[in-house]
């Protein structure tokens, strides 16, 4: 082989290698995540889970969410923006089960499989829904509340977003369990804080002033729980008005340890993100998946908050 032939051979080999590398790069799946938000520690733990799964699967991903959980139109726009990037699949937590439906239908028309997590849409288009069974979790909160109150009292509910299935199911699960098993406990009509801790705090103060015989408050997500606990603490009513909340953050756990909160129903946010990404990857690689995948919640109290298993859920660490 002369020098010219060798040179051509080398260039051809390099060209084939480059083409091969380009082909591999194009074959890398892109699975974006559109969340209900990103400010709360819950969503940061979800992101940690989805990012971890993406690295394990060699998948390209991104994580976006609106500035707060009232911004339904902003979330719709985020989904629309993602769809213009021609993703291979979409992982979505819907702020509003109806408002996000046209975007999900558009994804379906573009042959982009959708897996929902945390909050679903009113459609059978999503191939799987990865979340805590929120009705069961609401019932768990009701059982915890009854244990705290001893079977009697008046309980207020400060929920988060009225349009989300998470709020609906957590409220319904709580109320139905109370009516079925603990009818002596009076339940006030729920108020909705739109996922805003300050609004939840103000609502709780108004409820307490209007109901001097109030025994407890049930809050349905991290922001609502923080607002409720802040109100009870600032009014000097810690321990007098009981609090059962949802989800956790450093501030919320501190309220639990201080006796302001008596119980927390905590989801495994890391696993929700991790399993969501794995599930959508399974769909894209031709594997069967379950229509609903339950990520069970746990009840956290001052007695078990320092247990290793509970700490792994409350404060997941990057693997």
pLDDT digits (tens, 9 = 90+) for 113-149: 999 999 999 999 999 999 999 999 999 999 999 999 9
- Predicted pLDDT at 163: 81
pLDDT at 9 over 60: no
The string of pLDDT tens digits covering residues 30-88 is 999 999 998 889 999 999 999 999 999 999 999 999 988 889 999 999 999 999 999 99
pLDDT at 6 over 90: no
Q: Among 118, 128, 107, which Cα is nearest to 37's? A: 118
Return the structure tokens found at 303.
């007695």
The arithmetic mean of pLDDT across residues 250-272, rounded, is 97
CB 301 within 8 A of CB 291: no
CA distances from residue 97 to 219, 221, 229, 284 in whole angstroms, order as listed? 21, 17, 28, 24
- Predicted pLDDT at 69: 85
CB 91 within 8 A of CB 255: no
Return the structure tokens found at 216.
């407890």
Q: Which position has the token pair 């009113």?
A: 122
CB 246 within 8 A of CB 224: yes
- Predicted pLDDT at 319: 73
CB 264 within 8 A of CB 252: yes
Q: Which position has the token pair 């993602």?
A: 82
The string of pLDDT tens digits covering residues 190-231 is 999 998 999 999 999 999 999 999 999 999 999 999 999 999
CA distances from residue 8 to 14, 19, 73, 119, 198 in whole angstroms, order as listed? 10, 16, 57, 58, 70
Helix 134-149 to helix 165-181 angle (10° resolution) is 40
State the pTM of this model.
Answer: 0.85
Q: For the chain, give the number of residues.
A: 319
pLDDT at 188 over 90: yes
Q: Among 128, 81, 82, 126, which Cα is nearest to 101's? A: 126
- Predicted pLDDT at 25: 41
- Predicted pLDDT at 70: 87
Q: Which position has the token pair 């696993």?
A: 271
Contacts of 6 (CB under 8 A, 6+ apart): none
Residues in a beta bridge with 242: 216
- Predicted pLDDT at 2: 44
**Phi then psi dihedrals of residue 136, to 5 deg:** -65, -40
Region for 261 from its dihedrals, namely left if φ exceeds 0, alpha if ψ lies in -120 to 50, beta otherwise: beta
- Predicted pLDDT at 48: 97
- Predicted pLDDT at 214: 98
* Cα distance between residue 128 and residue 291, in whole Å: 4
Cα separation of the two ends of the chain = 52
The string of pLDDT tens digits covering residues 93-115 is 999 999 999 999 999 999 999 99
* Residue 190 DSSP label: P
pLDDT bracket for residue 15 (50, 70, 90): very low
pLDDT at 250 over 90: yes
Q: Which position has the token pair 């500035």?
A: 67
CB 94 within 8 A of CB 100: yes
**Distinct helix (H) and strand (E) counts, the chain:** 11, 13
**Is the pLDDT higher at 317 or at 47?**
47
pLDDT bracket for residue 20 (50, 70, 90): very low
* Cα distance between residue 134 and residue 203, in whole Å: 23
Q: Which domains does the chain have, with CATH numbers?
A: 10-132+269-295 (3.40.50.2300), 134-266 (3.40.50.2300)
The string of pLDDT tens digits covering residues 288-308 is 999 999 999 999 999 999 999
């Amino acid at each position: 082989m002369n020098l010219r032939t060798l040179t051509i051979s080398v260039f051809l080999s390099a060209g084939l290698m480059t083409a091969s590398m380009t082909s591999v790069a194009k074959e890398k799946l892109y699975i974006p995540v559109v969340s209900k938000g990103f400010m709360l520690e819950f969503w940061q733990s979800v992101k940690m889970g989805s990012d971890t799964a993406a690295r394990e699967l060699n998948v390209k991903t991104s994580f976006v969410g609106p500035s707060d959980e009232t911004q339904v139109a902003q979330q719709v726009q985020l989904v629309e923006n993602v769809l213009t990037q021609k993703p291979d699949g979409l992982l979505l937590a819907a702020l509003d089960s109806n408002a996000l439906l046209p975007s999900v239908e558009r994804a379906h028309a573009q042959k982009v499989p959708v897996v929902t997590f945390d909050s679903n849409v009113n459609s059978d288009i999503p191939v799987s829904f990865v979340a805590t069974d929120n009705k069961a979790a609401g019932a768990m909160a009701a059982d915890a509340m009854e244990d705290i109150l001893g079977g009697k009292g008046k309980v207020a509910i400060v929920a988060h977003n009225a349009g989300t299935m998470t709020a609906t199911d957590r409220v319904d699960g709580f109320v139905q369990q109370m009516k079925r098993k603990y009818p002596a406990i009076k339940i006030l009509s729920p108020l909705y804080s739109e996922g805003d801790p300050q609004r939840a705090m103000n609502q709780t103060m108004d409820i307490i002033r209007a109901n001097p015989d109030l025994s407890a408050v049930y809050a349905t997500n991290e922001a609502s729980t923080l607002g409720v606990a802040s109100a009870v603490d600032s009014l000097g009513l810690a321990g007098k008005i009981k609090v059962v909340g949802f989800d956790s953050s450093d501030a919320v756990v501190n309220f639990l340890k201080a006796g302001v909160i008596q119980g927390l129903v905590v989801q495994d946010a890391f696993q929700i993100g991790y399993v969501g990404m794995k599930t959508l990857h399974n769909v894209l690689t031709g594997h069967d998946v379950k229509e609903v995948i339950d990520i069970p919640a746990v009840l956290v109290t001052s007695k078990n908050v320092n247990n290793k298993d509970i700490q792994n859920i409350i404060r997941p660490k990057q693997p």
